[in-house]
Amino acid sequence: MNLKCVAIDDEPLALELLNKFISQTAFLKLEGKFSNAIEALAFINKNEVQLIFMDIQMPDLSGMELARILDGKKNSDKTRIIFCTAYHQFAIEGYKVEALDYLLKPYSYEDFLNAATKAYQYFDRVSNASAPKAAEPAAQQDYIFLKVEYQLVKVMLKDITHVEAYKDYVKVHLRSKANPLLSLTSMKSMEELLPSDRFMRVHRSFIVALDQIDSVAKNVIQIGVHQIAVGENYKDQFLEFLAKWMS
């Protein structure tokens, strides 16, 4: 899925930076860049635009005024905004118009990518929610996207053996790679992202793929060459799974 987006900023250097960051983000497609919010609004009214990166303080029509105009339109959930501004005092007002994120200048590409990823995840949820329901249960999504360095990487669920906490990151161990993927996220987020019928948190530092377990002995799980202890707080849940597994 590519998100159609526009960039709006009356400062030429800031507009070029947005253009650069959008162009190097694989899931974003720049439809237009504008130094004037009125011109941008005319374009948005005639074209499909999902995501707007824009400054707040601009002549003629401010970013906040444009956001209120768009917020009042029918199907406003199909176009979302990420503010890019040098003024932190507008943050609360930004949330009132339901901006997806608020980037404070000067921001890095990592900051930009975090905001863009949030937008991608939002539109992915909207797309899944609006998809027509089939007569038969829909097949479960068999992959996830992980932020690895400065890109989103598609990872097949069947390839994941286990997830390991590592400082502010997680290591996602895969059958197909010798080295794990290092992703800037939390164990809690991974636990929510992975389907609970296929993955289980067995320790504050480990989530395991249940179908990848080779053996269990004395509360220690063996997955390939890795031995993973079952934490005391997770023991009851894991023993319940184990009882079903052995029945």
Query: Which CATH number among 2.90.10.10, 3.30.920.30, 3.40.50.300, 2.40.50.1020 corresponds to the domain 143-246?
Result: 2.40.50.1020
What span, in angstroms and rounded, lies between the C-alpha atoms of 202 and 204? 7
Q: What is the mean pLDDT of the chain?
A: 85
Residue among 197, 209, 200 at smallest CA distance from 157 = 209
User: What's the pTM value of the predicted model, to 2 decimals?
Assistant: 0.54
Q: Indicate whether 120 pLDDT > 80.
A: yes
Q: What is the pLDDT of residue 94?
A: 52
Confidence label for 137 from pLDDT (cuts 50, 70 and 90): very low
Q: What is the pLDDT of residue 136?
A: 44
Q: What is the pLDDT of residue 88?
A: 66
Would you say the CATH fold of 143-246 matches that of 3-129?
Answer: no
Q: Indicate whether 83 pLDDT > 60.
A: yes
Task: List, for residues 16-70, the tens digit of each pLDDT value.
Answer: 999 999 999 989 999 999 999 999 999 999 999 999 999 988 888 888 899 888 8
Task: List, for residues 58-70, the tens digit of each pLDDT value.
Answer: 888 888 899 888 8
Residue among 39, 41, 53, 44 at smallest CA distance from 8 = 53
Q: Indicate whether 182 pLDDT > 90.
A: yes
Q: What is the pLDDT of residue 93?
A: 58
- Average the pLDDT over each of 42-56, 94-108, 196-210 and give the range with the smallest value: 94-108
Percent of the chain scored above 70 by pLDDT? Answer: 87
Q: Indicate whether 130 pLDDT > 60.
A: no
Q: Indicate whether 112 pLDDT > 90.
A: yes
Q: What is the pLDDT of residue 164?
A: 96
Q: Indicate whether 77 pLDDT > 90.
A: no
Confidence label for 226 from pLDDT (cuts 50, 70 and 90): very high
| Mean pLDDT calculated for residue range 231-244 | 86
Domains of the chain, residue spans: 3-129, 143-246
The CATH class of 3-129 is: alpha beta
Which residue is it, tokens 């507009």? 15
